[in-house]
Structure 1
Amino acid sequence: MLPIPIPLVDLSELSDPSESTDPRAAEGVGAAAGPPASGGGLRARKKLLVRAAIVDAALDLFAERGYDTTTVPEIAARAGVSPATVARYFPAKDALLFPERGVRVPALRAAILARPADEPPLRAVLGAVAQQPPLDAESLRRLALQRRAIGSSAVLRGRALGLLGRWRDGIAEAVAEREGQSAESAHVLATAVVAVLDDVTERWAAEGAGDGLQERALAALAVLAGAVGDTNIGSSKGASRARH
């Protein structure tokens, strides 16, 4: 289950510059800290680095030991910060895998609404998905570790289902608003798209998390489009044919 292969949950953007953090965090990670930050931009950047270091430490430990048996003090020690700093950034342990501020459902929703008005609903959704930027190598590594952690914990599987629902609802709302579709038909379409993306990512992780995740995702979505007679994804020419 989630995260899925387009960056609606982006662990490369983990910082909230307005967030209050432990002074040690604001000055860097552990012994690697440099001189105190001067200026809000540098301070915010250092917060981002600390936040990312905590997430990386957590993901590595979850992969090594399992989510349920890994403690916050162990994560803090691996990241070079105090347990209190971890708690300030992530009030609950599961938030290390699901940083809510990184959820990009609104970005995909906006992309769907911006698609050409004459595109059929499914094609508009798939075109919007194809427009999302691919995950970089570090995000793919984190995604594979996330999948492993989710698979090891019933708590995380339940949490991931909630995030899956947010994707589905965001897509469904955009389709209903854009196309004048009924809420029921928009929900069915969104459920199918998210299920395909989720399945592709599940198999990608199980098969060793190699290259080509986004290509696999788009190919699977093309199969979905073909199954419902909508093979010209993102094509205005195809949309014109569909109207006749």
Structure 2
Amino acid sequence: MPNIKVLVVEDDLSVAEVLVYNLKKEGFEVSRALDGRDALNQARLKLPDLVILDVMLPSLNGLEVCRTLRAGEDTKNISILMLTAKSEDSDQIAGFSIGADDYVCKPFSVAVLLQRVKALLRRREQAAVVKNQDVVTYKSVSVDRRRYKATVGEEPLDLTRSEFRLLDTLIRQPGRVFDRAELIDAALGEDTMVLERTIDVHIRALRKKLGPYADVIETVRGVGYRFSEAMHEEV
């Protein structure tokens, strides 16, 4: 995951070194803080995507750091994964109540912690997409819900309402296979009484209008259709 910044806040040097090493190995850009005040300074300066935050810290404990980050305008959306040697439910509830996104108890498996980190970052990415989901672009194909406009390259696509909704549904979940019934609900409305093969007609018409980009819509034999997930990006 290139360009993803992670701040490790851990006063136990041996634990910190293990975390930093493994996170860098996964491709993250990693910085480290050994106490709570340094953690806040680095978070405000570097604005990491995620903070791995020990609870028991010098100067300021992890709960105070978490609370302060959540209160800051620039830092409130940073993902926070808390670490602690304590495993009581009350400690976890305290962490979640002040804004922690996840909680891992020591001792922990590095492999499991890395999966939790990646899960948090996926959630962060999905939340960012939701905030800006009016426009989605794949290669040179673009769908703009707000303007009810679709383009391929610089050219507008002259789509029917059903074709627009069909393209919009597919492009927003690249790689997901939709069966014909799902696409009827999405493109035509769940109360529409039509044959499932009607979707095939719409797909053929849509592919024709996409021209050289027609292959972005893939047929999954015996199931339905999907939008190719290669080189997908949201803007």
TM-score between the two structures when normalised by the length of structure 2: 0.28
More strand by share: 2
Radius of gyration: which is bigger? 2
Q: Whose RCO is larger (CA < 8 A, sep 6+)?
A: 1
